[in-house]
């Protein structure tokens, strides 16, 4: 049971408390490799086939865990997958309806630090999407490597659509110019619900505010939610946007094209330590790799 996967659990719900859980990545690989209660084979890497009964149990359990302990990013992800239902097909059809979306489905790009070169993006001129994205990542102290992979969706293409949604979440942050605190995450969930219609975003939008203080909740509903519903509802479906081909485009132009305008000003706090930790981990692995190379042969 060796951890082989790059991506680890991330809370897309409460990003103030991003934590990684190594046991999750190891456990899921092992689970999909070992015998399962259903005799079906996995349809893609990381797929964990469940019977309808297990899916129901997981839905209830993950809903309970997600609301009581939002740090459990894997549970938020699991709830998203078990409640997705027909919404993923609907999103896939939207992607098929646009040339850009079709290209995404064909090429299936992934967003993590090995597919997206942060150094190159940092060198782009100010005002471009690439530069804005890297700046936003640094300002919030987060990294694209902490997304939980999809496990509980049957169809591989729909699993990809779900994965794409998860990985593009940070782009939505960037394009709407929102930080990663709880209020902004919830505002973005309302936005995503209006724009994409995933049931999980709706659940988060409804139940998430229960965890806010009354003042923050009041601000959320008076300022952010109207913006989210108006902007998200009228904007182009963001799942069809091929962000990786638009690095050099001007951010304002993209926003005009998609029909997005900035959210009400948000509270930006200190950067999280997630990105720093990930960088340190990478540096440690790199130095271990280098020292292994230097070891003389016996």
Partner 1 sequence: MLSSSTKQALRLGSRFSRPATHIARASCARASTSAPSNPPSPEQPRTTSFGFRTVPEDAKESLVKEVFDSVASNYDLMNDATSFGVHRLWKDSFVSGLKPGRKGPMKCIDVAGGTGDIALRILDHAREKYYDRETTVDIADINAEMLKEGYRRFKKTMYHNTPQVAFHEANAQEMSKFPDNSYDLYTIAFGIRNCTSIPAVLKEAHRILKPGGTFACLEFSRVTNPVLNSLYDQYSFSVIPVMGTVLAGDSASYQYLVESIRKFPPQPEFAQMIRDAGFATGKHEEGGAWTDLWGGIACIHKGVKL
Task: Rule CB under 8 A: say whether 288 interacts with partner 1.
Answer: no
Whose tokens are 């084979």? That residue is: 41
Task: Rule CB under 8 A: say whether 50 interacts with partner 1.
Answer: yes
- The residues that bridge with 250 in the sheet, in sequence order, are 128
Task: Rule CB under 8 A: say whether 75 interacts with partner 1.
Answer: yes
Query: Annotated binding residue at 173?
Result: yes
Task: Rule CB under 8 A: say whether 1 interacts with partner 1.
Answer: yes
Q: Is 68 helix (H, G, I), strand (E, B) or coil?
A: helix
Of residues 13, 271, 11, 270, the one with CA closest to residue 142 = 271
- Read off the tokens for 84: 């997705």
* Minimum distance from residue 36 beta carbon to partner 1 (Å): 8
Q: Are 144 and 170 in contact (CB under 8 A)?
A: yes
- The residues that bridge with 128 in the sheet, in sequence order, are 250
Query: Annotated binding residue at 151?
Result: no
Task: Rule CB under 8 A: say whether 19 interacts with partner 1.
Answer: no
Task: Rule CB under 8 A: say whether 78 interacts with partner 1.
Answer: yes
Query: Annotated binding residue at 185?
Result: yes
Task: Rule CB under 8 A: say whether 26 interacts with partner 1.
Answer: yes
Q: Which of 8, 10, 74, 237 contacts partner 1 by CB under 8 A?
A: 74
Which of residues 29 and 134 has its CB atom nearest to partner 1 in the complex?
29
Task: Rule CB under 8 A: say whether 53 interacts with partner 1.
Answer: yes
Helices (H), the chain: 22-33, 52-68, 73-82, 87-96, 99-107, 118-122, 129-140, 156-176, 182-195, 199-207, 214-219, 225-234, 251-258, 274-294
- Read off the tokens for 80: 């998203």
DSSP state of 71: T
Q: Which of 11, 12, 13, 24 contacts partner 1 by CB under 8 A?
A: 24
Task: Rule CB under 8 A: say whether 34 interacts with partner 1.
Answer: yes
Q: Which of 5, 21, 100, 156 contacts partner 1 by CB under 8 A?
A: 21
End-to-end CA distance of the chain: 29
With contacts defined by CB under 8 A, name the span among 26-34, 249-257, 259-267, 278-286 that binds partner 1.
26-34
Which of residues 71 and 246 has its CB atom nearest to partner 1 in the complex?
71
Which of residues 8 and 116 has its CB atom nearest to partner 1 in the complex?
8
Helices (H), 6-122: 22-33, 52-68, 73-82, 87-96, 99-107, 118-122
Rg (CA), the chain: 19
Q: Rounded CA gap, 298 and 183, in Å? A: 58
Task: Rule CB under 8 A: say whether 67 interacts with partner 1.
Answer: no
Task: Rule CB under 8 A: say whether 182 interacts with partner 1.
Answer: no
* Minimum distance from residue 294 beta carbon to partner 1 (Å): 20
Count CA atoms within 13 Å of residue 204 on its CB side: 32
Task: Rule CB under 8 A: say whether 51 interacts with partner 1.
Answer: yes
Query: Annotated binding residue at 47?
Result: no
Contacts with partner 1 by CB under 8 A lie at 1, 9, 21, 23-24, 26-31, 34-37, 48, 50-51, 53-54, 57-58, 61-62, 64-65, 72, 74-75, 78
Annotated binding site: 169-170, 173, 185
Annotated binding site for Zn(2+): 169-170, 173, 185
């Amino acid at each position: 049971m060796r951890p082989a996967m790059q991506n680890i659990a991330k809370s897309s719900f409460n990003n103030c408390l991003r934590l990684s859980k190594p046991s999750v990545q190891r456990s899921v690989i092992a689970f999909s490799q070992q015998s399962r209660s259903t005799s079906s084979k996995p349809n893609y890497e990381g797929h964990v086939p469940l019977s309808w009964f297990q899916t129901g149990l997981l839905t209830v359990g993950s809903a309970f865990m997600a609301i009581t302990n939002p740090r459990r990013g894997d549970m938020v992800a699991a709830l998203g997958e078990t409640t997705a239902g027909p919404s993923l097909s609907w999103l896939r059809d939207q992607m098929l309806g646009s040339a850009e979306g079709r290209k995404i489905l064909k090429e299936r790009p992934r967003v993590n630090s090995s597919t997206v070169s942060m150094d190159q993006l940092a060198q782009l001129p100010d005002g471009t999407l690439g530069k804005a994205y890297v700046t936003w990542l640094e300002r919030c102290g987060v990294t694209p490597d902490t997304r939980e992979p999809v496990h509980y969706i049957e169809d591989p293409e729909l699993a990809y659509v779900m994965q794409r949604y998860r990985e593009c979440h940070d782009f939505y942050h960037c394009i709407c110019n929102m930080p990663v605190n709880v209020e902004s995450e919830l505002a973005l969930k309302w936005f995503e619900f209006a724009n994409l219609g995933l049931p999980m975003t709706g659940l988060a939008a409804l139940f998430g505010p229960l965890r806010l203080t009354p003042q923050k909740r009041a601000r959320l509903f008076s300022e952010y939610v109207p913006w989210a519903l108006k902007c998200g509802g009228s904007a182009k479906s963001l799942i069809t946007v091929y962000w990786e081909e638009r690095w050099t485009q001007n951010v304002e132009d993209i926003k005009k094209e998609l029909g997005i305008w900035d959210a009400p000003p948000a509270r930006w706090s200190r950067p999280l330590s997630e990105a720093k930790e990930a960088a340190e981990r990478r540096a440690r692995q790199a130095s271990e790799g280098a020292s292994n190379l230097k070891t003389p042969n016996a």
